[in-house]
Structure 1
Amino acid sequence: MVYSTGGSMASASASQLRSLFAHILVYSEVSNPLALWEKHWEMMSDDIPLRAAASLKMPKLHINKDDLHNYVLYEVEILLNQCGRTLGDFALPSLPDDLLLDLANRLIMEERNYDRESLNEELSHLESKMNVKQRRIYELIRDSSSNNRTELLFVYGHGGTGKTFLWKAIITCLRAKGKIVLAVASSSITSLLLPLGRTAHSRFKLPIDLTDESMCNINKNTQMAKLLESTDLIVWDEAPMNNNRCFEALDRSLRDILGKKNSPFGGKSMILGGDFKQTLPFHKKGKKSTIVRSYITSSYLWQEFKVFVLTENMRLMQPWLTPSEKERNSAFSAWLLDIENGEVGTRDLEDPVNSNWVKIPNTYCVPDDDDGLANLISFIYPPETLQNPSATELQQKAIVFPKNDAADTINKMVVDMVGGHVTTYASYDTATPQGNDGGESELLYPT
């Protein structure tokens, strides 16, 4: 900081300015200390983000203006205390009770580490693209957050109806206001689609071997417990993939941690979303009845949720699509929905109740010959895309296979087509074996 002293220029660091401010208060007669503080406090804050990031071992830290104000105020109070004075002696604002706990809590600071100005710019873009049903849900959550009202919602919609888009808009809106939103999903792949998303098991410390009495491995008076107390909303994507015991374990834990035994999820707002026609809870050698009983709809919690349904396919609204592409995509989307609803195909004679034989139209097929995989890759990833890849374009494309072996084969072919140096990154999280299933856990959840 540079300032003038009788015609000459001098400089001082933020910490020196704080010291100067404290000494002015103590040893000079300031007629209006609050006005002096409000005019100059931001000049005393330059070093705070770097110091806070270093203490929390974070590479970079965005501190919102309110927290930054309180942080500088705390530093000034320390200086005043050394002179036997307090903030109250000069009619300066008092510090929030939990300020130091929050600033020392890495988990909380990570969830507040956002550039609010950028988020507000992004939010304006997202709001302009919402359809009527999305906006209704968005405004319900936005208003409930502003009014400290609890909402439990389940948003149902088939692929392409904009569930992930809606999550992003809601998360961006609340984080732009300094609220804490925990974004989780049932699988690591899905969690990557959420802004700073995590898997539900990782975020909430859910046990793998769940029972009717299970609780999250979170103790009271810990940083994680404090994070949950400070959380405004939980967004849980692909919820139908999880056993209902996951939600019940979180419910019991939140009621216990927050001390609200009679409030579902301890009074925290939650949005669950997904499609019951997609992947459902997995049970080793489980019967259909066992799987159905594990749905969240079979849980005592289900009656607490309001259900909303998204139906409009947002993928057909992309502005860069030509009329013929929109028509083709619309027909493909309708065909997929007909399969989901059991309206396409002929009954399997061996299992007529549960299974249909579906003939895939040739227009949706890649010819099954020696060059089939190469043709598929070239169709999804043209040579110009692989030679000059961009994150924006690659995010719009995917090749999905039901088995890892096929996916590995295609990945190798794509890497060979791209050329250049290859670097492989393995995930850090690993599954903890339960009982004697160490080999099975390693097989199902590889590094």
Structure 2
Amino acid sequence: MPISTSKLKSVDFYRKIPRDLTEASLSAEKLGLLQSNQDLEVCLQQALCWQMPSTFRKLFATILAFCDVANPRSLWTQFKEHLCEDLIKSSSNMTESEEKCLHLLNEALLCMGKNINEFALVSHHIGITKHQRIQREIQAERSLTPSDNDLLAIEKLNVAQKEAFDVIMSRVYSNKGGVFFVDGPGGTGKTFLYRCLLSKVRSNHDIALATATSGVAASLLPGGRTAHSRFKIPINIEDRFVCSIGKQSAEATLIRDSKLILWDEATMANRRTVENVDTTLRDITNSDNLFGDKVMVFGGDFRQTLPVIRSGGKKDCMDASLVNSHAIWPHIERLPLRENMRAKTDPGFASYLMRVGNGTEDYVSDFSIAIPEQFLIPYTEHEASVDALIENVFPDLVSFSINPYPLMQRGILTPKNDGVEELNDKLIQRMPGEERCYVSYDEALDTSTHAEYGDLLNAISLAGLPPHKLILKKNCPVMLLRNLNPAEGLCNGTRLICHDFRDHVINCSIATGEHMGKNVFIPKIPLQATEDAKCPIPFKRHQFPIKLCFAMTINKSQGQTFDYVGIYLREPVFSHGQLYVAMSRAQRADCLKILICNKDRSGSTNLTPNIVYEEILEKAHQQVNV
């Protein structure tokens, strides 16, 4: 296992005890426990060519936070002039500009869960008092000025949305707590309502915290953060009953000062994470009431996918659902949204989707339904059928390679990662442009076995890791695989467009959501598979934390809407709500194509399983007229 710097300081590696962080880091570098500065120096040197000082600082902070840097002080000394480039004019001297730069780096690092003093860039302490940090957190939230469009949107709420809006706002400004669940299928305007709630509270200079279970859903909300990031939810929720928020911390103060807390895609959250947040909020507010008597608004659609439980069956997934939280669900006030905006343009498609989601579409055999012919790509010969699906979804890759933003509104969805890799490999080969191939360096955590397992590690492909061989082209779409900087829109699931390539850094822009168009630099970082991925050999992969995303898994697509959707059922769906999620990413019937592969890959079929846990829907919709 990796050894911490503090442990290095206490271990006599070279028959002497390192006396400070710098000396300890040098010892670790010699042992291969920390990344050499050489590659990181090249990464930073290459990023300078784009002349973006603010983005360059964020890259520097990302490297400190994620790359196990061997000698951070040396890196600072070498690049401080470039890091301060845009600060010199507003400073009286270089020392002042360096101090400003160090504080800006610290702000970025704090968003990543780190502190600049951990890296000993300079000999003195970079001061930020607890009071200053609290003020910084509060100021960051208060600076989220609502747009005129969001404020005007309040007048456009339909009847059900307005009822929900009024109920929630009455609690916000009566200083009475309340816990709500906005229940509605895709197309009923949940996100529209959320934005109205956030803008109203923020227009009064009050704090409204926007969170979501997934990074993708969080990116659609102004000031959105993942729930794990906002509430410091522990990775292993079985080990702890509270989140990692100290009672006197800046995060605790921010939560206490908030008027509204919003949590989208709550149907995907493991109920134990929600229960942890409840316990934490009660603690930091000194209240015995649910969620510390805050106004808490959950939202989602229980027809969609449930919490993912590795190697878990139906019982495990159902048990993890919020509706089975005896401490919370019975006390939630449900607010249904009934009017489907999609139904106005394509009522037949909207009605069909609801039957699929509710499990009321006629089953033909073995829990399979018959897909209407209008959606089907006939399955003949495998390669030809896959090509037909690709051509329907991405008909003109030449024009998409010049203007990539329309490409980001199209996608092919499939249940498992094998299908994703097959499609992405085909599509990157078809996309015009010069190919860049990045090969990872993989090392076993048990260094004594590295030589033995080298080639085997390269062959390992896991859902949460980038591939060993990453092939990219200018303007190709990629998906971020780690929460690098949630406050800047860089969440697990964020989709990016690749613009320019260097050996150790890639210049991208965020393709969707609130941060759309923002330039970001992505470095190579060391990545490990999560514990529940059941990797046969624990190892570390040094690679850019991205994957191609012409195609993505159905679960990753949840929360996104596309102009055109293809569904590749190389294997059938395997869990509750997956078919509904995949089909409902499309807004109209003429924007959806489905390829169903037979088990023996012979002959065409229109039958495919539709898995719906009726018990979950019954519990979710009790007392709700859906």
Query: The TM-score by the shorter chain falls in which range?
Result: 0.5 to 0.7
Question: What TM-score, normalized by structure 2, do the two folds share?
Answer: 0.48
Question: What TM-score, normalized by structure 1, do the two folds share?
Answer: 0.65
Paired residue for 2:104? 57
2:376 to 354, 365, 375: 365
Deviations 1:68-88 (A, max 9, x none): xxxxxxxxxxxxxxxxxxxxx
Most deviating of 269-278 and 139-148:
139-148
Paired residue for 1:304? 331
Structure 2 counterpart SS, 1:400: strand
Q: Could you tell me whether the CA contact under 8 Å between 2:206 and 2:259 is conserved in 1? A: yes
Paired residue for 1:160? 187
- CA distance 1:289–1:312, change in 2 (3 Å): same
* Matched length: 340
Q: RMSD of the TM alignment (CA)? A: 3.8
Paired residue for 2:221? 194
Counterpart residue type for residue 139 of structure 2: M
Counterpart residue type for residue 359 of structure 1: A
1:123 to 146, 150, 157: 150
Counterpart residue type for residue 140 of structure 1: V
- CA distance 1:397–1:405, change in 2 (3 Å): same
CA shift, 1:171, in A, is 1.8
CA shift, 1:361, in A, is 1.2
Q: Could you tell me whether the CA contact under 8 Å between 2:234 and 2:240 is conserved in 1? A: no
Paired residue for 1:86? none
Paired residue for 1:267? 293
Structure 2 counterpart SS, 1:221: coil
Counterpart residue type for residue 293 of structure 2: G
Structure 2 counterpart SS, 1:57: helix
Structure 2 counterpart SS, 1:343: coil
Matches for 1:206-217 after TM superposition, within 5 Å: 206-211=233-238, 214-217=241-244
Deviations 1:384-412 (A, max 9, x none): 86255364x55654432212232334344
Paired residue for 2:303? 277
Task: Give, in whole Å, the separation in 2 of the partners of 1:416 and 1:330.
Answer: 38
Deviations 1:33-92 (A, max 9, x none): xxxxxxxxxxxxxx9xxx9997862899xxxxxxxxxxxxxxxxxxxxxxxxxxxxxxxx
Most deviating of 246-255 and 429-438:
429-438
- The reply to whether residue 185 of structure 1 matches residue 209 of structure 2 is no
User: Higher strand fraction: Structure 1 or Structure 2?
Assistant: 2
CA shift, 1:110, in A, is 2.6
2:403 to 389, 407, 420: 389
Task: Give, in whole Å, the separation in 2 of the partners of 1:438 and 1:185.
Answer: 28
Task: Give, in whole Å, the separation in 2 of the partners of 1:366 and 1:212.
Answer: 47
- CA distance 1:411–1:250, change in 2 (3 Å): same
Q: Could you tell me whether the CA contact under 8 Å between 1:188 and 1:198 is conserved in 2? A: yes
Task: Give, in whole Å, the separation in 2 of the partners of 1:53 and 1:184.
Answer: 30
Matches for 1:342-357 after TM superposition, within 5 Å: 342-346=359-363, 348=365, 356-357=367-368
Matches for 1:52-131 after TM superposition, within 5 Å: 57=104, 101=131, 105-114=135-144, 116=145, 119-131=146-158
Q: Which consecutive unaligned segments of at least 5 residues does structure 2 have?
A: 1-89, 91-96, 108-128, 434-473, 484-526, 547-626
Task: Give, in whole Å, the separation in 2 of the partners of 1:439 and 1:246.
Answer: 28
Q: Could you tell me whether the CA contact under 8 Å between 2:343 and 2:351 is conserved in 1? A: no
Matches for 1:430-445 after TM superposition, within 5 Å: 433=530
Matches for 1:318-337 after TM superposition, within 5 Å: 326=345, 329-337=346-354
Q: Which consecutive unaligned segments of at least 5 residues does structure 1 have?
A: 1-46, 61-98, 318-325, 349-354
Larger radius of gyration: 1
Paired residue for 1:407? 420
Structure 2 counterpart SS, 1:182: strand
Highest RCO, 1 vs 2 (Cα 8 Å, sep ≥ 6): 2
Q: Could you tell me whether the CA contact under 8 Å between 1:386 and 1:417 is conserved in 2? A: no
Q: Could you tell me whether the CA contact under 8 Å between 2:207 and 2:257 is conserved in 1? A: yes
Task: Give, in whole Å, the separation in 2 of the partners of 1:416 and 1:173.
Answer: 48
Paired residue for 1:340? 357
1:291 to 317, 324, 329: 317
Deviations 1:127-155 (A, max 9, x none): 24421111111222233323323221111
Paired residue for 1:252? 279
Structure 1 counterpart SS, 2:297: strand
Structure 2 counterpart SS, 1:273: strand
User: Higher helix fraction: Structure 1 or Structure 2?
Assistant: 1
CA shift, 1:191, in A, is 2.3
Task: Give, in whole Å, the separation in 2 of the partners of 1:389 and 1:279.
Answer: 33
